[in-house]
Amino acid sequence: MVLNNRCLTTLSTIFICWVLSTSLCYSLQGDIDCLKSVKETLQDPLNFLSSWDFNNSTEGFICKFVGVECWHPDESKVLNIRLSDMELKGKFPVGIGKCEALTGLDLSSNKIFGAIPPNISKIISFVTTLDLSSNQLTGEIPVGLANLTYLNTIKLDSNELTGQIPPEFALLGRLKEFSVANNRLSGPVPFFGNAVSSTYENNLALCGKSLSPCQGASKKSRVGIIVAAAIGGVTVAAIVVGVVMVFYLRKASRKRKEGDPDGNKWAKSIKGAKAIKLSMFEKSVSKMRLSDLMKATDNFHKGNIIGSGRTGTVYKAVLEDGTSLMVKRLQNAQHSEKEFMSEMATLGNVKHRNLVPLLGFCVAKQEKILVYKYMKNGTLHEKLHFVNEGDKTLEWHPRLKIAVCSAQGFAWLHHSCNPRIIHRNISSKCILLDSNFEPKISDFGLARLMNPIDTHLSTFVNGEFGDLGYVAPEYTRTLVATPKGDVYSFGVVLLELVTGERPTYVSKAPESFKGNLVEWISNLSGESKLRESIDKSLLGNGYDNEVFQVLKVACRCVLPAPKERPTMFEVFQLLRAIGEQYNFTTDADIMMPSEGDEGIELEELIVARDTIDAH
Given a cut of 60, whether residue 27 has pLDDT beyond it is no
Q: Are residues 242 and 287 in the same domain?
A: no
pLDDT at 168: 86
Residue 265 lies in a domain: no
Q: Is 264 a domain residue?
A: no
Which SS3 state, helix, strand or coil, does residue 398 take?
A: helix
- The per-residue pLDDT for 432 is 92
Q: Which of 168-182, 245-259, 295-309 has the lowest average pLDDT?
A: 245-259
Same domain, 172 and 54: yes
Please give the Cα distance from 542 to 408 (Å, whole number): 25
**How many domains does the chain divide into?**
3
Per-residue pLDDT tens for 250-277?
444 444 333 334 446 666 666 655 556 5
Confidence of residue 452 (pLDDT cuts 50, 70, 90): very low
Q: What is the pLDDT of residues 40-61, one digit of tens each?
A: 999 998 888 988 988 887 878 8
Higher-confidence residue of 139 and 301: namely: 139
Phi, psi (rounded to 5 degrees) for 518: -65, -45
Q: Do 468 and 353 share a domain, yes or no? A: no
**Beta strands 324-330 and 367-373, pairing class:** antiparallel
pLDDT tops 80 at residue 152: yes
Q: What angle do CA 489, 491, 495 make, to 5 degrees?
A: 120
DSSP 8-state class, residue 566:
P
CATH number of the domain that residue 343 is part of: 3.30.200.20
Contacts of 493 (CB under 8 A, 6+ apart): 380, 406, 426, 427, 428, 431, 470
Residue 605 is predicted with a pLDDT of 40
Q: Binning pLDDT at 50, 70 and 90, where does residue 6 land?
A: very low
435 and 302 housed in the same domain: no
The last residue of one of the domains, among 351, 373, 395, is 373
Asked whether residue 18 carries a pLDDT value surpassing 60, the answer given is no
Point out which residues pair with 55 in neighbouring strands.
none
pTM, rounded to two decimals? 0.57
Residue 283, phi then psi, degrees to nearest 5: -60, -30
What is the predicted pLDDT for the residue at 460? 40
* Mean predicted confidence (pLDDT) in 446-454: 56
Q: Are residues 442 and 548 in the same domain?
A: yes
Q: What is the reported pLDDT for 528?
A: 86
Q: Are 565 and 484 in contact (CB under 8 A)?
A: yes
The reply to whether 251 and 279 lie within a common domain is: no
More confident of the two residues 537 and 250:
537
Vertex 545: Cα angle to 532 and 530 (nearest 5): 25
- Do residue 97 and residue 224 come from a single domain? yes
Query: pLDDT of 466-490, one tens digit each?
Result: 456 898 988 877 778 889 999 999 9
- C-alpha to C-alpha distance for 565 and 556, rounded to whole angstroms: 6
CA distances from 537 to 392, 394, 399, 542 (A): 11, 9, 12, 12
Question: Cβ contacts of residue 598 below 8 Å, gap of 6+?
Answer: 567, 570
- Is 313 found in the same domain as 425? no
Distance CA 596, CA 415 (A): 10
Most confident by average pLDDT, 8-22, 276-290, 301-315, 518-532 = 518-532
Looking at the structure, do residues 500 and 474 belong to the same domain, yes or no? yes
Cβ atoms of residues 230 and 171 within 8 Å: yes
Look at residue 429 and tell me whether its pLDDT is greater than 90: no
Task: State the average pLDDT over residues 483-505.
Answer: 93
The share of the chain scoring above pLDDT 70, in percent, equals: 72
**What mean pLDDT, rounded, does the chain reach?**
77
At 314 the pLDDT is 86
Separation CA 27–CA 98 (nearest Å)? 8
Give me the percent of the chain exceeding a pLDDT of 90. Answer: 28
Residue-level pLDDT at 279? 63
Verify that 387 and 362 share a domain, yes or no: no
Q: Quick one: which of 180, 178, 188, 124 has its CA closest to 152?
A: 178
* CATH at residue 81: 3.80.10.10
415 and 364 co-located in one domain: no
Identify the domain boundary among 234, 258, 282. Answer: 258
Give dist(CA 527, CA 380) in Å, integer.
27
Q: What is the C-alpha separation between 69 and 78, in angstroms, rounded?
A: 6
Give the mean pLDDT of 175-204: 82
**Cα–Cα distance for residue pair 204/263, rounded to 1 Å:** 6
Helices and strands in the chain: count of H runs, count of E runs? 18, 21
DSSP per residue, 167-213: GGGGG-TT--EEE--SSEEEEEPP---TT-EEE--S-SEEESTTSSP
Same domain, 131 and 146: yes
Q: Which amino acid is at 149?
A: T
Strand partners, 362: 369
Domain that residue 319 falls in:
270-373
Output the domain CATH number for residue 413.
Answer: 1.10.510.10
* Mean pLDDT within 579-586: 86
pLDDT at 293: 83
For residue 263, is it within any domain?
Answer: no
Q: How many CB atoms lie within 10 A of CB 272?
A: 10
Listed residues 231, 258, 285: the one ending a domain: 258
Q: Is the pLDDT of residue 109 over 60?
A: yes
Q: CA-CA distance, 91 to 108, in Å (whole number)?
A: 13
Query: Which of 301-305, 337-341, 566-570 is the most confident on average?
Result: 566-570
Q: What is the DSSP string of 105-171?
A: EE--SSEEEEEPPTTHHHHSTT-SEEE--SSEEEEEPPGGGGG-TT-SEEE--SSEEEE---GGGGG
